[in-house]
Every structure is written in structure tokens, then in C-alpha cells.
Amino acid sequence: MIHARGLVKRFGDFTAVDGIDLEVAPGEAFGFLGPNGAGKSSTMRMIGCVSTPTAGELRILGMDPVREGPAIRARLGVCPQTDNLDPDLTVFENLTTYARYFGIPRVEGRRRAAELLEFVQLTEKSGSTVEPLSGGMKRRLSIARAMINEPDLVLLDEPTTGLDPQARHLLWERLFRLKQRGVTLVLTTHYMDEAEQLCDRLVVMDAGKIVAEGSPRHLIETYSTREVVELRFGDDAPATYVEKLAGIGERLDPLPDRLLLYSADGDAAVNEVHRRGFTPSSVLVRRSTLEDVFLILTGRTLVD
Amino acid sequence: MVTTYAVARVARGNRLSPARVGAVINRNVGALRSGPAYWLVLASGFFEPVLYLLSIGVGVGALVGDLTLKNGEVLPYANFVAPAMLAVSAMSGALAETTFNFFFKFKYVKTYDAMLATPLRPMEIATGELAWAMIRGSLYTGAFLIVMVALGLTTPGWALLAFPATWLVGLAFGAVGMAVSTFIRGWQDFDLISTGQFALFLFSGTFSPVQDYPLPVEILIATTPLYHAVELIRGITTGMLSWSMLGNVAYLLVMLAVGLYVASRRLTSVLCR
């Protein structure tokens, strides 16, 4: 579906995407994970054929995005980072009008619009304008709009950023259903749980480069340990404990508010901390997540 | 010549799809239907030139009496002012759509970003928006022509010929307005546009023959766009056709071509970064 080699995007002196290689297969849910400014959105815009690559090779659905943009876009569904729904139209018209841009006949457009509103659970809002809808509803409408042309490939740029937990879960569930239908999903996110929930495979991006690639499980197993212990020491700076706890687990990462201790056996590590005579104000043993992978790979947390 | 070459090159590069241009117009028809606010805007756009016509053309016209033109023809003042108001109405109808509304969609509600994620091309968006601006403008000018015929300021025959001329005026100003809108930084820039529009409104041979001005001023006016629109339409509604009107048509066609070309180029460079 997507093939990229040495893909580069520069804006003046600034290099947003710095030579990345990608391969996305049909039916896959593929994720770009990284902090703001990592180059995820620039990559998505190139894949969406609204931004021309500065250098490198890019093929979407086997076509050249520069010369065959309209033909590619006819088969893409795009859900942008910030909703750009049409405020002058009703919910239903947002879909039927969009259908016309793809040359879908009116009757067929109306049929699909009704079906998609059902799918994203907005049927009762059909005649409303867009403005009074909640953030989650708007995002669902954007996703319905992205599906109006029955796309082979759906691009979702931070689909749940800014939504409350309930709205996120509803959206994930709908996206998961799309995936079950065999739609290829490509999404960006800076949420670990989102990537773990939705993605079969992902790349971790930082400063325009891909720093790791694989399934969420594979990335965790490769770069992190099975368990992570989060230790807090009241008002003491966590960094001061790095030396004192050296040798426990496989790795120690001091954050401003807590110390992360990577270990295959979290409980054993905690016992060792106590045995050395330290009493943290709080102890949390948890499974390792992609967040930890990102921290290990880049030395920084994802969401500042 | 440079512009025709450039436009021809664009047309070759991406052939316009009538269906996709129609889809852009369709979006605006939908927006028109969805709220009463839009009708209000349309109504106000019609009344403004009619009020000018009644107050200045008929009111001041009663004081001024008949005008003797350079070619010796005598014309009642209202008949002289009315076609100018018609040209102004074609201009402002198109500009309202391609400046204010276009900018709002371009910068704030990101309508064009959404459109560009579909097979639509920038040139198709620009053409569709321009066609819509012309349709909107022709609602004003059609109604205005009916008023003119009713007041005996032109004949039904000349009115029928003047109608397509107002389309050309709408297209020319609409295209240039759209191109200018892509450079607008914020709402305060609209003051510049309205000031420019008002200056054109006052000094384009609208209320007095340009020959009454000193020669350098007359030449200066002859370079501005509304003058050509007024000359063209006045020639038709008064039935005083002349070869110079071909020059007016050419001027407006160049505006159309350059405006459309610049607008679609700017849509591409700003939105497809």
C-alpha cells in the first residue's frame, strides 16, 4: 500500500522528515508514534498527496503521489488532526457534499451517508449543523467522511487527541471494526495506549527519523524489560538515588518526579531496594509499555 | 500573451473536470440552503446599488438634468448612472464571495484543506468558487436589470445583452479578488480592500464622465478595472456600442485569466506545502 525509501521533507532549513523507509501491507494497522514535531504529520501529508516530498522515493497504492495525486486521493480516506468539517452544512450534508468531490452519484452518496452515520452512531444528529457537536462526535463525523469513498487506505492523524476517555474508547472500538473489515489503517499518535490498542505494527519517530520498528509487543521485548518499577522518594530528587540503587534491575531512568527501574522481575527488584535500606514513598510495579520503549530510545518522555 | 500562455499551460497540465468543479459549486448551493443568514447577505448586496441608483441617479439626476456626452449624444443622468451601478453590483457581488467568504474558508474553517484531500485540484476549486461567485453576482445584476427596465433606464433587448456582460465583470473581479484573498494576512486587510473598492466606485466614470477630469487623471482612471466594466455595460444599456468596448472586454478577460491562475497557484503553494 505504501512504499517509501529515503523519504525527506524539508521546509527551508528545517528538516521535518529525515530519510525514512516504510512498507505498509494491505489490511495492516500501521502506526507512527512520536512526540510533537517528530515528523509524523509531515509524513502523513506526503502520503495523503497534499505535500510533495523533497527527496526520496514514495509510492502510494503503487502510484506516484506527485503525478497521480488525484487518482491516489480518490482511494484514500483522510481524517485530519484538526477537524475541518463544513460549518455551513448539516451533518448529513457534510457527507453527501464530500461524496460529490469524489464523483459519487447523489443517490449513492445519500445511501452511504446514512449508512456511515449509523456506523459512527450519529444518525440522530443527521440534521444538526456541525458546530454544536461535541469533540468526539466531530471526530466520528470526520471518520465517517473519510470513509465516504470506501477507501482502500485510511489515514488518521492523531485521531483521539483532545478527546475524553469515553469518546476515545468509542472511537477505538469503531476503528477496530474498520480494521476487522480489512481496511488498511495508518495512524499517528503520541499516545502509547492508542498505539498498543490499534496498531499491528508501528515505527517510533524522533526528530524526523525512525528510531525503531516492529509490533508493540516486539518493541517492548526488544527495548525494554518485562516489568517496570516506578519509585518515588518524597521530596528527594530521583536522580540522587541512581547511584545508590545501581545494580538493581537492568536499567535506571531518573525522571523529574520518579525513578524508573527496569527489571524482568519487579517484585524482586523492590525487595532489593528495601534490603539496601531505602524506603520509597510510593512503589508501583507494572508491565512495560511503549512509553518506556520511547524513553529508552530517545531519553525523553512522549507527552511533556 | 504571457498570461494566455501560462493559463494554457495550466489547462494542459491538469485538465479541469466539470463534475469536480460542479461539486465545488454544489457545496455552496448546500450552504445557501442551510441557513437564512446567507439570504440576508444576498438581499443586502442587491439593495445597496439600488439605493444609490434611486438617491443619486434619480434624486441628484433631477438637479443635474440631462448630460451631453463627448460624442454629442444627450442622456438623462439616471440613464448614465444606472449602468455604472449595475457594474458596481456585479463587482461587489463577486468580490463579496471571493474575498470575505473565500478567506474565511481558506484560513479559518479549512474548507479547501478538506477538499484537497479528495481528487479535487486547486484549479478546480478556484474555478468552482469563481463560478459560484458569478452565479451569486448574477442574482444581483439580474434583479438590478429588471429594476432598470421597469424604470425605463434601458430597453429589455439591451438588458438581455447586458446580462452576460455582467457575468464577465463578475468573473473578472471575482478572479482577481480570489487571488488577492490568498495574500490576506488577517481581517484588518479587508479594510484595504473595501477602501480600494470604494475608490473604484467613486472614480470610475460612475457618477460623471471621465472626460470631465484633467487628462492625466483620465488616463489614470482608464487603467483601473471598474472603469472598463462601467464603459462596457454603459455602452450596452444605452445602446451606444463602439469598438472601444472590445478593449474593455479584453481588459476584463485578462483580469479573469491572471486572477484565476494566481489564485490556483497560491492555493497550491499555501495548502500543499
Q: What is the ipTM of this complex?
A: 0.82
d(CA B145, CA B87): 11
Chain B residues whose CB is inside 8 A of the A84 CB are 109-111, 113-114
Can you tell me the mean pLDDT for A124-147?
92
Taking each helix axis from N to C end, the angle separating A216-223 and A290-298, rounded to the nearest 10 degrees, works out to 50
Sheet strand arrangement including A14-24: A14-24, A2-11, A55-60
d(CA A127, CA A130): 9
| Cα-based angle A102, A24, A51 (whole degrees, multiple of 5) | 50
pLDDT > 90 in chain B, percent: 43
Question: Considering only alpha carbons, which residue of chain A is nearest residue B16?
Answer: A70
| pLDDT on residue B9 | 40
Asked whether residue A292 is domain-assigned, the answer is no
Query: Looking at the predicted structure, is the pLDDT value of residue B15 above 80?
Result: no
Where do runs of H (alpha helix) occur along chain A?
Answer: 40-47, 69-73, 91-101, 106-119, 135-146, 165-180, 192-198, 216-223, 266-275, 290-298
Do both A204 and A267 map to the same domain? Answer: no
Do both A174 and A265 map to the same domain? Answer: no
Structural domain including A202 reads 2-215
Nearest to B30 among A45, A78, A89 (CB): A89
Q: Say which CATH number the domain at A243 has.
A: 3.30.70.980
Nearest to A73 among B27, B110, B119 (CB): B119
Do both A203 and A269 map to the same domain? Answer: no
Higher pLDDT, residue A138 or B61: A138
Asked whether residue A24 is domain-assigned, the answer is yes
Q: Which of A87-96, A153-162, A248-257, B151-160 has the lowest mean pLDDT?
A: A248-257
Can you tell me the mean pLDDT for A89-93?
93
**What residue has cell string 479549512?**
B110
Do both A198 and A88 map to the same domain? Answer: yes
Do both A186 and A118 map to the same domain? Answer: yes
Q: Does the CB of A55 have a partner CB in chain B at under 8 Å?
A: no
Q: Tell me the Cα Rg of chain A.
A: 22
Chain A residues whose CB is inside 8 A of the B35 CB are 88
- Which of A68, A73, A84 is the mutation pick for testing B, counting most B CBs within 10 A? A84
Asked whether residue A220 is domain-assigned, the answer is no
Do both A15 and A90 map to the same domain? Answer: yes
Q: Say which CATH number the domain at A80 has.
A: 3.40.50.300
Query: Looking at the predicted structure, is the pLDDT value of residue A186 above 60?
Result: yes
Query: Looking at the predicted structure, is the pLDDT value of residue B2 above 60?
Result: no
Buried/exposed code over B209-229 (b: 16+ C-beta within 10 A; e: otherwise): ebeeeeeeeeeebeebbbbbb
Question: Considering only alpha carbons, which residue of chain B is nearest residue A149?
Answer: B118
Do both A210 and A231 map to the same domain? Answer: no
Mean pLDDT over the full length of chain B = 86
pLDDT in tens, A199-213: 999 998 988 999 899
Asked whether residue A294 is domain-assigned, the answer is no
Query: Looking at the predicted structure, is the pLDDT value of residue B194 above 60?
Result: yes
| pLDDT on residue B14 | 55
Do both A190 and A263 map to the same domain? Answer: no
Q: Which of A151, A161, A119, A154 is nearest to A29 (CA)?
A: A154
Can you tell me the mean pLDDT for A281-298?
84
Query: Looking at the predicted structure, is the pLDDT value of residue B8 above 50?
Result: no
User: What is the number of domains present in chain A?
Assistant: 2
